[in-house]
Structure 1
Amino acid sequence: MILTVTPNPSLDRTYELPGLEHGAVLRATADRVDPGGKGVNVSRAVAAAGQRTVAVAPLGGPEGALHAQLAGEYGIEAAGVPIAGSTRVNVTLVEPDGTLTKVNAAGPRITAPEAEALLEAVRNRSAAAAWIACCGSLPRGLPQQWYAELVARSHRAGARIALDTSGGALTAALRERPDVVKPNADELAEAVGRPLATVGDAVKAAEELRERGAHSVLASLGADGQLLIDGTGTYYGSTRAGTVRTVRSNVGAGDASLAGFLTAGGIGPAALASAVAHGTAAVQLPGSVMPTPADLDLSAVTTTTAIPLDRALTEPTS
């Protein structure tokens, strides 16, 4: 079982538009609503792969009730922690060329008793978990050290932790030695405080995160593939040119990658290949739809220890 923790979940509403015109009345050509938040997205991808998953998240108001209902419809065991505030609603606008405009709400403020209830909910379910995936931003009310506390408690319970967050929350949690951290290129640059222009720059930044406490680093480089740096070496995963025919939405693609990595064991190049295949499939699906096994093409994925260090990133970080 894979347990996910999402401190700031959301209802994700996605509208596909023929075009985006400022100040106009727009009519969507398609729309959908999904239970969202990075950890919840991971759970959706795990459930789509036919594996058991439990999603711990603070849920409140009618939005929280709908979130739990939709999660159940996806095959997720929703372990909602009641809160006084209402679960946020995020909106994504998708144009025909794949351009996304996102409006993310701040979310409710979490009180100290609610924060402790979240930690306790994770503790109560951690014994049965092969992995605990802690994902996303921290809502108002939770200190930057909250993930660090979660990692420390989970390690004391004997659980393995995958952490997907950024900024001060990531920096604080590194001291507790999470088993895997999963930054994208921008988050990796932010963590080390310098821009990344090449794959080699990303490798050096990931190695620095390992020196600061992470056992493994799974770094998403967008169209330039993914890196896995762990105690056995450095691996680079990419897809064959032409595999991605149409990018419909990159919402949740990183979460799908993490799910693919964990469902494949969370260790080594085989897990990296699964991560790349899941991310590649996700960007070709609408909204935050998670890929099923039928959407994956592992034959198009290559993993190697011959890292293209001088390869320029398609989207260099600032």
Structure 2
Amino acid sequence: MILTVTPNPSLDRTYEIPALERGAVLRATTDRVDPGGKGVNVSRAVAAAGHRTVAALPLGGPEGALLARLLEELGIEAAGVPVRGSTRVNISVAEPDGTLTKLNASGPELDDAEAEALLEAVRSRVADADWIACCGSLPRGLAPEWYAELVARAHRAGARIALDTSGPSLTAALRERPDVVKPNAEELAQAVGRPIATVGEAVKAAEELRELGARAVLASLGADGQLLVDGTGTYFGTAKVTAVRSNVGAGDASLAGFLAAGGTGAAALASAVAHGAAAVQLPGSVMPTPADLDPSAVTTTSDVPLDRVLKEPA
């Protein structure tokens, strides 16, 4: 079972349009609403793969009630913590060429009692979890050290932690030695305080995060692939993608694939790459099922192309 923690979940509404014109009245060709937030997306991908998952998250207002219902319909158990504020609603606008414009709301502010209640919701379910995935930004009211406290409590209970966050929250949590951290290229550059333009520079940055406490680093490098640096070695993975439809949730699908495949080594990286590649070819934040995966399109290697220039430098 994979337990996910999403301190600032959302309802994600996606509109597909022919072209985005500022100031115009536009009509969407399709639209959909999905339960959102990085940890929620991980749960959705785990559930789509047929595994058990529990999503711990704050829920508030009618938006929170709808989010809980959508999770239930997907076969995801919601360990919901009632909060006074309303769950946020995020908007994504997708164009045919793959361009995505996102409007993310800030979400409710959590007080001390609500923050502690969320930690307790995790604690009460730790014994059943093979992995705990803590994902996303922290809402207003939670200090950057909140994730560090969660990692410390989970480790005391014997659980393995995967952490997907950035900025001060990531920095503070590293001292508690999370088992896996999952930055993208921009977050990796931010964490080490310098630009990243090549795969080799990304490897160096990942090694620095390990020196600061991370036991493994799974880094998403966008169209360039994914990088894994852990105790077994350094690996690089890529996949052939026919057409990008939406990259919303692709990194979360990758993390789900990585954890579902054991969370260590080249085989787990290959699963992460396959899940991410499948996700970008689906609409909105739809998570891939096993039928969407194409393992034959994935290549992983320990002969990392250090001099390769990133298509999307950070």
TM above 0.5, yes or no, is yes
**In structure 1, what is the equivalent of residue 92 of structure 2?**
92
The alpha carbon displacement at 1:19 in A equals 1.1
2:310 maps to 1:313: yes
Report sequence identity in percent.
Answer: 81
- Hey, what does 1:51 align to over in structure 2? 51
Separation in 2, partners of 1:268, 1:251: 26
Which runs of 5 or more structure 2 residues have no equivalent in the other structure? Answer: none
Q: Which position in structure 1 is the counterpart of 2:286?
A: 289
**Deviation for aligned residue 1:246:** 1.3
Residue number in structure 2 paired with 1:124: 124
- Amino acid aligned to 1:294: A
Q: What are the equivalent positions in structure 2 for 1:199-214 lying under 5 Å apart?
A: 199-214=199-214
What is the letter of the counterpart of residue 153 of structure 2? R
2:165 corresponds to which residue?
165
Distance 2:56 2:167 in 1: 22
Q: Partners of 1:207 and 1:174 in 2: how far apart?
A: 13
Q: Alignment partner of 2:125: what SS?
A: helix
SS in 1 for 2:203: helix
Q: Report SS of the residue matched to 1:133.
A: strand
SS of structure 2 residue aligned to 1:313: coil
Q: Report the AA paired with residue 198 of structure 1.
A: T
Inter-partner Cα distance in structure 2 for 1:50 and 1:136: 23
1:303 is displaced (CA, Å) by 1.1
**Does 2:266 correspond to 1:269?**
yes
Shift of 1:245: 1.4
Aligned to 2:9: 9
Per-residue deviation, residues 145-175 of structure 1 (Å, max 9, x unmatched): 0000000000000000000000000000000
Counterpart code for 2:269: L
Q: Is 2:69 the counterpart of 1:72?
A: no
Deviation at 1:244, TM superposition (A): 1.2
Q: Is 1:102 matched with 2:102? A: yes
The alpha-carbon deviation at position 299 of structure 1 amounts to: 1.2
AA at the equivalent of 1:221: L
2:252 counterpart residue number:
255
The amino acid of 2:209's aligned partner reads: L
Q: What is the CA–CA distance in structure 1 between the aligned matches of 2:264 and 2:62, rounded to whole Å?
A: 39
Task: Return the TM-score normalized by structure 1.
Answer: 0.98
Deviations 1:180-201 (Å, cap 9, x if unpaired)?
0000000000000000010000
Q: CA RMSD in A?
A: 0.5
- Give the structure-2-normalised TM-score: 0.99
Q: Secondary structure at the match of 2:229?
A: strand
d(CA) in 1 for partners of 2:24 and 2:311? 33
Quote the residue 1:279 is aligned against: 276
Q: 1:289 offset after TM fit, Å?
A: 0.2
Aligned length: 314
Determine the structure 1 residue equivalent to 2:33.
33
The 2-side partners of 1:113 and 1:35 are apart by 25
Aligned pairs for 1:170-189 (under 5 A) are 170-189=170-189
Q: Secondary structure at the match of 1:147?
A: helix
Superposition deviation, residue 59 in structure 1 = 0.4
- Per the TM alignment, residue 232 of structure 1 is displaced from its structure 2 partner at its CA by 1.4
Give SS of 2:143's match. Answer: coil
Letter in 2 for 1:257: S
- 3-state SS of paired residue (2:50): coil
**Secondary structure of the equivalent of 1:254?**
helix
Distance 2:23 2:220 in 1: 35
Q: Secondary structure at the match of 2:124?
A: helix
5+ long unaligned stretches in structure 1 = none
Match for residue 235 of structure 2? Answer: 235
**Aligned residue identity for 2:258:** F
TM-superposition CA deviations, 1:235-290 (whole Å, max 9, x none): 11112xxx311111000000000000000010110000000000000000000000
Query: Structure 1 residue 301 and structure 2 residue 312: aligned?
Result: no
Give the CA deviation at 1:137. 0.1
Question: For residue 149 of structure 1, what is the aligned residue in structure 2?
Answer: 149
After superposition, give the CA deviation of every residue in 1:44-75 in whole Å (9 maximum; x if it has no partner). Answer: 00000000000000000000000000011111
Structure 2 residue identity aligned to 1:143: A
- Tell me by how many angstroms 1:96 deviates: 1.2
Counterpart position of 1:82: 82
How far the C-alpha of 1:221 sits from its partner, in A, is: 0.4
